[in-house]
Structure formats: C-alpha cells, structure tokens
A and B are shown apart, each in its own frame.
Chain A
Amino acid sequence: MSEPTAPGAAASGATIELENLTKRYPGSPEPAVDSVSMEIGAGETVIFVGPSGCGKSTTLKMINRLIEPTGGRIRINGEDVTDIDPVKLRRKVGYAIQSSGLFPHMTVAQNIALVPKMIGWGKARIRSRVEEMLDLVGLDPGEFHDRYPRQLSGGQQQRVGVARALAADPPVLLMDEPFGAVDPITRDHLQDELIRLQSELHKTIVFVTHDFDEAIKLGDRIAVLRERSHIAQFDTPEAILTNPADDFVSGFVGAGAALKRLNLTRVRDVEIADVPTVTVDDPLQDIFDKLRGGTTNELLLLDKRGRPYKWLRRGDLMRARGSLARAGTLVHDTVTRDATLRDALEAVLTDNAGRVAVTGRRGEYTGVVDMETLLNSVHEMLEADRLDAIEHQHDLEEQRAQLTHQEQEGAGPGPGGPGGAARA
C-alpha cells in the first residue's frame, strides 16, 4: 500500500472491499450486521442510508474497527486490514462524526494537528498543514487557529472536524452522520463544501446518513440498507430514483422522485448564460449608455469585489435621479456553481424576474441561470433517465430470458443464479 503520508502530492482514494462482514453481539440470536459484501472504488463517495437501527453505523465502524467484526474480511487498497493493529489502521482512515467530536480542551489548531503529530510529522510541516486545512474547509486560519471549540458555531465545529479527519491526508474518510446535528441551512452549506472538497481531493468516502436527500446529493453510489445491514440496493442515485429495486427502496426514496432528481444535477452542468454587467466603479455615464444602447433592458451591477449587487433596469436610474445607491433592486439570492438544480429552481421561483445569479468561490459573478434553461435541462435529464431505465430493464429481461432458456435446455434445477448457469 502506498504511504499516504508521503510528502508531495495529496493521496487520493483507496479501494475498500468488504467481504461477508458480520457482527454478532453475544447474547443476541440475530447478528447486528449480517454478511455484508461490498466493493468501493478508489475516489468514490458511497453513502450508507437506511432506517435507524439497520446497522449502517455499525458497518461503518467496522471499517476502521472501532467495532471489531466477528466474521469476514476488510481490505483497503487490496491490503487485508482485518487483523492489523487497529491504531495503525485508524491513522490511515479519517474519521468524522456527528457533532464534530472536537476535544474541548484543545484549540482548533491543536485538534487538527493531532494525527500528523502522532505519525511524527515535523513541527514546521504540521504548522503549514494546519493552515492549509483551515483554508481548505473555508475557515480563516488567522481568526480560528487559536480558538477553542466552544467558541465556534456548530457548522464551524463540523468544518474543523472534517479538517482534523483529513489532516494526515488519509486515502479513506469515514463520516458517521457528520451533519446530523446542525441546522438545515448550515447542513446545506456543509454538504456543498464537502462536494467541493471531494472534487479537489478525490478521497474514498463512506458516509452514513438516514436522510435520503442528503444521500442523493452527496453520493456517487448509494447503498440502501435494511435491517441487519442487508443491502436492498447498491447503485447510483439516478438508478435508485428512476428504478428502485423493490418496495422497501421505493418507500425509502419517498414521494417526489422527479423533484429529488433535481438534487443530482448541479448548476455547473447546465448552460449558464451571461448578462451585461457594470461595476459600481464605472462612471455613471457608461452605465447610462449601456442601459440605453444594450440589447437587454437589464444590467447586473457588481460591487467592488465583483459580487452581484443590484439589478438595474432601464429607467431605474432616471427614477432614482442618477443615484446608484437608490436605483435598482438588490440581489437577494445567488447560487454557486456547485449548488443543485433544486436550489437554483428555488431561487428562480422566488425571484420576481425568474433568474438567479451564479457566483464563484469568493462570491464573484460568473453568470446567470433562468427558468427556461432549467426547464430544458430538466426535460433532457428525465428523458435520458427514462431511456437508461428502459435499457436497464431490457438488459435484465434478456439475462432472465437467457437463464430460463438455459434451464430449459436441461441443465437441471441448479442452486440458481450464476452457479446453475455455469454448469449448463
């Protein structure tokens, strides 16, 4: 296995293989987790989702052996880690939990530095790594470095928790309902941040949640688990939404699958239009001329840092007697390129002109999305899904037909499945 702490390039993900992983507690007849097998690709985000008590958290904790499995094997990047020293294993596997799990007696910087310190990094390297991690999770190092966890908001604590989990650059990150204890708005932000992080880092993430919408938003693949961690369906969010395996899964998906589908596509995947812009520093006369001479009757006024500030229409300036401070309507809502189409739709629906400005990482203007773009994209998307689903169904039917055919050929009733087919 490659050394994840080697200096230089960041370690991206490792594969995880679970083979018949089982947990039996003494004194209970049924196992808590019953023979889970699963392969997770390097750099993939896999979400375990299921009702409370289905064993999803237990399964996750068996991957870093916080709970020792009673049967089965765990392999990370091909290396069998079922019997190695658990402390060693855990230093290669980042772990973030609900309500952050930060140590209250240590500062933010000390919390983040813990794992690098344990694996023996030098002081200078740790210091620069802490700054880097704070920056990565969107916290200003100068401001947060020496704060204690109790001086942070829930969302900030959670960010530090993720920074701590990633500090030693582990190839694998386990997250146990990390956003379960924060308010919905913060949770939304944190989810967006995680998506951004993952697009930079390509870790292998295993994420446990009971919130199916969260699963759809974050997962490359989702494992819907029922009791004793039996896998009801393990597939892409699109496939689960358009083609749930059974009643249990469709029950879990819930109503409004078409709306949920909007969570799967991001603003960056659709066409972002451009509108004429001016900045507050432009001379008033230029703004006048642009408004009069332009093809559209609307301008987006940007502030000094290039962020959307106001929508200006023809005549607004006249009515405000040439005062930029009074003219136009303030921009209330913007979306980032990583926001889901659902967020964008929400913003477009509440905007009285049916469009929303798209912003980059620092809030700077990058474009505009309007109702028409959204409608077109959604139609295309649903059509593509439908075709996929038909094709998938077709494949399944063909396989089934082949199987029946082989059985009829007289191979006898085998144990069923591929074994029977192989003997034919």
Chain B
Amino acid sequence: MSTSVDFWDYLGTRHEQLLTDAYQHASAVFQCMVVATVLGVLIGVLTYRSGWAGNVATTVTSTVLTVPSLAMIGLLIPVVGLGVAPTVVALTLYGLLPIVRNAIVGLRGVDPTLVDAAKGIGMSRAARLFRVELPIAWPPILTGIRVSTQMLMGIAAIAAYASGPGLGNVIFRGIGSLGSRNALNQVLAGTLGIVVLALLFDAAYVLIGRLTIPRGIRV
C-alpha cells in the first residue's frame, strides 16, 4: 500500500480502458432505462384504473427491489447465462419500481373533473390517455425515471460479477487485488466514474424536463 501509485498517474495511464468501461456502463444503464420506462409506464397505464391491479403492480415491483442485487444476478446466471443478459434483466427489473409507482400515482392524481371534461368534449379513450392523462402525469413519471437511473448506476457496478460490462469491472479488479499497487486507485476510479456518470445523467434529466414538461404545469 505504501507504494501505491499516484491516482493521477493511474488515470493518465489507464484512461482509455476507463473511458471504455464508463461508456459501457452508461450505455447499459441508458438502454435498461429505456426498456424499464416503456415497461413501467405500460404497467402503470394498464393498472392505475383498478385499485387492486395497481396495488399488485406496486407490491410486486417493490418486492423485486428487496432482493439483494448480488443475489439477483447470481440467480439469473443459471437462467440467462453470463455476460450482458443477466445485467440487462436485473437492471430493468430494478428500474421498474420507481417508474411503475410514480406512473400509477401520477395517473391516479389527474383531476377527475379533467377526465370528465375530456370525455364530455368527445375525446376517445386513447386521446384521453395520450393528450390529457399522460402529459399531466408526466412530471411525476419523469421523477420516477430519474430516481431509477440513480439507483441503476450503482447497481450496474454489480454486473461485473456476472462478467457484465461497465465500471464494476474496475472496482472488482481492485477489490480482487487488494494490497497490490493499483488496488485502491481502481476502486476509487470506478466509484468516482459512477458518481460522475450519475451527475451527468441527472443534468440530462433536468434538461429533458425543461424540454418536455409543458409550461402550464411546470412548478
């Protein structure tokens, strides 16, 4: 440990590998978020109208979240094998809960008189959903997506356990070689990389919110 290489030197020599890992990390999280968003909003739309179905959806997705991520990936390996597949499945499952819950809460929170008005002026079921209910529920849904993304950033690091992609590999390598010259630097670089990515994503969401939330309902 006393001979640990200076952190900046480490970054200087390994930055190419680190950037590749960071890119793969971000790309995995992003793609899983897209899938989780589509699935989560879909589940929300299908269940919010029934008290019973909505509660089941929320309970199931929150149960998923209580499974430790390491165990989840471990359990997925025999089913889907090593590599990218368990990472994607696990991340998508974890990402669902905040989105499903916020979609249901958001859609249920739309003022019933507005739904009544939409019906009354002759909007079809689909028009009501896409032009009134979803736009009004969009801010809470976007918040759900943001929370999910933050969570997945951390969880994605575990994916390296199943030889998945991302900055987790750097961290695991460091942990696996504790005591060696670069061990601490590796853990530190992986962790900081995840934090920086998370901040970048969050900034992107703020921008997306600015662009997609209509001025009339922006707080």
- Beyond A97-B116, A118-B127, whether A165 also contacts B136 by CB under 8 A is no
A106/B113 in contact, CB under 8 A: no
- Beyond A97-B116, A98-B113, A99-B113, whether A104 also contacts B122 by CB under 8 A is no
A90/B122 in contact, CB under 8 A: yes
- Minimal beta-carbon separation of B87 from chain A (angstroms): 37
> Contacts of A64 on B, CB cut-off 8 Å?
120
Contact of A95 with B by CB under 8 A: yes
B122/A101 in contact, CB under 8 A: no
Contact of B45 with A by CB under 8 A: no
Contact of A265 with B by CB under 8 A: no
| Interchain CB contact (< 8 A) of B122 among A98, A105, A115 | A115
- Minimal beta-carbon separation of A179 from chain B (angstroms): 15
Q: A residues 90-120 with Cβ under 8 Å of B?
A: 90-91, 93-95, 97-99, 101-107, 114-115, 118
Contact of B74 with A by CB under 8 A: no
Closest to A94 in B: B121
Contact of B51 with A by CB under 8 A: no
> Contacts of B215 on A, CB cut-off 8 Å?
148
Q: How many pairs of residues, A versus B, come closer than 8 Å at their CB atoms? A: 65
Q: How far is the CA of A291 from the CA of B25 in the complex (A)?
A: 91
Q: How far is the CA of A88 from the CA of B191 in the complex (A)?
A: 58
- Minimal beta-carbon separation of A325 from chain B (angstroms): 44
Q: B residues 36-83 with Cβ under 8 Å of A?
A: none
- Minimal beta-carbon separation of A163 from chain B (angstroms): 12
B216/A148 in contact, CB under 8 A: yes
- Minimal beta-carbon separation of B54 from chain A (angstroms): 23
Closest to A106 in B: B216
Contact of B135 with A by CB under 8 A: yes
Contact of B89 with A by CB under 8 A: no
Q: How far is the CA of A55 from the CA of B116 in the complex (A)?
A: 17
Q: How far is the CA of A368 from the CA of B136 in the complex (A)?
A: 51
The interface of chain B, by Cβ under 8 A from chain A, is 113-114, 116-124, 127, 131-132, 135-136, 214-217
CB-defined A-B contacts under 8 Å, sample of 10: A66-B119, A91-B122, A101-B114, A103-B131, A103-B132, A103-B136, A104-B217, A105-B135, A105-B216, A115-B121
The interface of chain A, by Cβ under 8 A from chain B, is 64, 66, 87-91, 93-95, 97-99, 101-107, 114-115, 118, 148-150, 164-165, 174
